[in-house]
Structure 1
Amino acid sequence: MNTTFALEQLMRWYGPNDPVPLPHIAQAGCTGVVSALHAIPVGEIWTVEAIRDYKAHIAAHGLSWTVVESLPVHEDIKTASGRYREYIDNYCRSLENLAACGIKVVTYNFMPVLDWVRTNVAYELPNRSEALFFNKADYASVDLFLLKRPGAEKDYTPEELESYRAHFAGLDEGYKQRLFQNVLLGLPGSDVAFTPDQVLEQLGHYRHIDRRQLQQNLISFLRSITPTAEAAGIQLAIHPDDPPYSVLGLPRIMSTEQDVVTLMEAVPSPANGLCFCTGSFGARPDNDLPAMAERWGSRIHFLHLRNTQRADAGNFMEANHLEGDTDMYAVMREVVQLMQREQRSIPMRPDHGHKMLDDLGKKTYPGYSAIGRLKGLAELRGLEYGIRRSLADLA
């Protein structure tokens, strides 16, 4: 068995203001970073000069930058309104400029308004480390009674409404304030929450956009940019919804394997692929991740490896990377076989991690403290090594 092809071990880095500096990422054993030009407003062109300067800064620390996460999609594109055609043109220009600077993979998502949602970003575990947590009753409390989204009651059964009213009545004011801020956190790389008025205004833009329309807008967007990506040699990798079900009444269109089927069949170009996030897809019990990795392996351009532990009522917690509900051994075994079968390496990063040890006293981006991710990376690296050795012995 050819063992040349292995996972490219990367770590996400949020730029010069990231509390985790580049030397620490290099010390963790990573060969590069996954990053983005966070200072450039969404919709504007990423220039060659800006990309080269950023890449040179990373290279000065002995690391590479070949995977972008994310090149954000403007809300006008998602709603196919306003200046969306201009923003699509800008997106294509940015793809061309990234390719000219040696970028190979561009990750993006098509989640409306909010990038990801958790109700607790410092959930204390029995060993006193901290995890990200999603509690459905807490989320509903924000939706119904704090944000007071117009029409929210229609999304819940009478029994649920009664239960959530009782739950909300038992929350103290300090908890409500922290909960509200957690749910309305902005894009990754920022610890500034959206204001209620900002969220309600954005929700209004989706008033007449249902799941089918949003899905069509995504397909139209990809049909517009994929020829540019193909010509430039860029692999597009869409990140699944997080969490993989409706939030604040907004449609979700990349949550299940059927969503993957719909998108890949509509835009069959090899440049149109997945950021296969085992945490996001794994938060739903109806997603069979090892089988999805087998069926869609040729379209997996980037891997986010993390695990979630599901509970009742739609609750879930970020688990240790090798524990949770996702069979990480089965996923990794399929990935190792995929790389040998297709003779390619796949970039991977350990996604999220528990906050632990010295990081407990530091301010870091939720899920992106150094030590918890290093622990996950070490576990995943060992798992990959063991599988590769065992398969080689069987060859």
Structure 2
Amino acid sequence: MAFEKTWRWFGPKDALSLAELRQMGIEGVVTALHHIPNGEVWPVAEIMKVKRDIEAHGMRWSVVESLPVSEGIKTQSPDSPRLIKNYQQSLRNLGQCGIDTVVYNFMPVLDWVRTDLHYLLPSGGEVMYFDFPTFVAFDAYILKRPGAEKDYPTEIVEKAKERMQSMTEEEAEKLAYNIIVVTQGFIDGVVDGSTPDYKKVFLSFIDTYREIGRDKLRQHLSDFIQAVVPVAEEAGINMAIHPDDPPFPVLGLPRIVSTKEDLEWIVAQHPSTANGINFCTGSLSIRSSEQLTAMVQSVGHRIHFLHLRNNVLLPDGCFHEYGHIHGVVDMYAVMKALLQEQRRRKQAGRKDHRMPVRPDHGIKLLDDFKRQANPGYPLVGRLKGLAELAGMEMAIERQLDESGH
């Protein structure tokens, strides 16, 4: 039994139409109501408008990615009760419309981070790159966050100084804009690109976490899970938290969804199957590539959505993305463990036994250079990845059938 093949679609403004997704063999669409401001209720009418459009093209709205968790919920600001109430109502409305999987994350201020959105591979393709010393240069010397140098290893700080000395003012400004605005703008980032002094606004968001360490942020996540999972369960929705990207502290902010232990802790916060995981091999492999199959074996029963992609790890905590089946991730072992989990669910009679999967990010290739797309979301590169993953999946399924497992 194959995974459900899905594709992230950014709505009517996406360069790809729903009709084109259908031509590609996509079964399920992964999207969100990007036009609804963070913290506001998603109306039934708006949900149904998107759902009907997807179904009119022979697919289903498989996953909401994402229903954003407002910063006020993460910090438990005075407005948190209203934001929680709105989140709960959005879940009820999604359940009423037949949506069964919702992704969210609990990363403070900044979602995924890269320092180079156009890293050139020897093949001529382009991927996204995270250079740790360059990021520290951004944090300590461009953003000028107070005390930033103390949050990173001494050798990395020294290299960050060298990076900074070699940058022009234009390069430094571009780096800051890419990190704060470009990579975040299409995923409900906290800072609008039209903000005049966007770095100052960004620093103010970071400052709200001054008294929130790892343990306190964990407690806030636990409180959020307790508040929304019973509502999601009643609405027939599985919640799936996305791991931190990268899975280690940045900007002095805690990260709490980065390791096998973190995932086990999250699952333990509520016994409902609705309290689950968005298993992203790209994010988790940066520090725990050898533990990915162990993660599946430990929390596989709570995995509700799959992001499959790969990385190349470099010295000094640097890495770059690298397609889907080649890299640090043993994709064969991971997919085999996930397919075995899927079979166990079917045998147990679970209605949610079939897991949706999407090729996460991809190498910019061929006609991708002529197309407009959000960072990390090329057409050809992702379609190549989907085909590679589907081929590997078919071979593993055949092997499992023949071995009786």
Shared fold by TM > 0.5? yes
Are 1:207 and 2:210 counterparts?
yes
1:58 corresponding residue in structure 2: 54
Q: Distance in 2 between matches of 1:158 and 1:329?
A: 38
TM-score by length of 1: 0.96
| Structure 2 length-normalised TM | 0.93
1:286, CA displacement in angstroms?
6.3
Pick from 378, 382, 389 the counterpart of residue 387 of structure 2: 378
The alpha carbon displacement at 1:62 in A equals 2.2
Partner of 2:87: 91
- The CA distance in 2 between the partners of 1:294 and 1:76, in whole Å, is 34
Map 1:162-201; keep pairs closer than 5 Å.
Answer: 162-185=158-181, 186-189=184-187, 193=193, 195-201=198-204
1:33 alignment partner, SS class: strand
Secondary structure of the 1:297 match is helix
The one of 31, 38, 47 aligned to 1:35: 31
> Structure 1 residues 189, 75: CA separation in 2 closer, same or farther (over 3 Å shift)?
closer
**2:78 is the counterpart of 1:82:** yes
Of 361, 375, 386, the match for 2:370? 361
Q: Tell me the distance in 2 between the aligned counterparts of 1:369 and 1:39.
A: 22
Is 2:238 aligned against 1:242? no
Name the SS for the 2:239 alignment partner. Answer: strand
Compare 370-379 and 177-186 and name the one that shifted more.
Answer: 177-186
Structure 2 partner of 1:110? 106
Given the alignment of the two structures, is residue 221 of structure 1 paired with residue 230 of structure 2, yes or no? Answer: no
Unaligned runs of 5+ in 1: none
SS state of the match for residue 5, structure 2? strand
Q: Deviations over 1:93-123 (max 9, x none)?
A: 1101101111010000000111111101111
Aligned residues: 391
The AA in structure 1 aligned to 2:356 is: P
Pairwise mapping of residues 233-382 of structure 1 onto structure 2 (< 5 A)? 233-285=236-288, 288-343=291-346, 344-382=353-391
RMSD between aligned residues = 1.5
Name the CA distance, whole Å, in 1 between partners of 2:293 and 2:154. 37
Structure 2: distance between partners of 1:361 and 1:66: 29
Ranked by relative contact order (alpha carbons within 8 Å, sequence separation 6 or more), the top structure is 1
Gaps of 5+ in 2: 347-352
Matched-pair identity in % = 47
Indicate the SS of the match to 2:122. Answer: coil
Tell me how far 1:190 sits from its aligned partner: 6.9
Using the alignment, how far apart are the partners of 2:296 and 2:265 within structure 1? 16
CA distance in 2: counterparts of 1:375 and 1:127, whole angstroms:
15
For 1:329 and 1:108, the matched residues in 2 are separated by 27
SS in 2 for 1:9: strand
| Structure 2 residue identity aligned to 1:205 | T
User: Using the alignment, how far apart are the partners of 2:85 and 2:151 within structure 1?
Assistant: 37
One-letter amino acid matched to 2:313: R
Deviation (angstroms), 1:172:
3.1
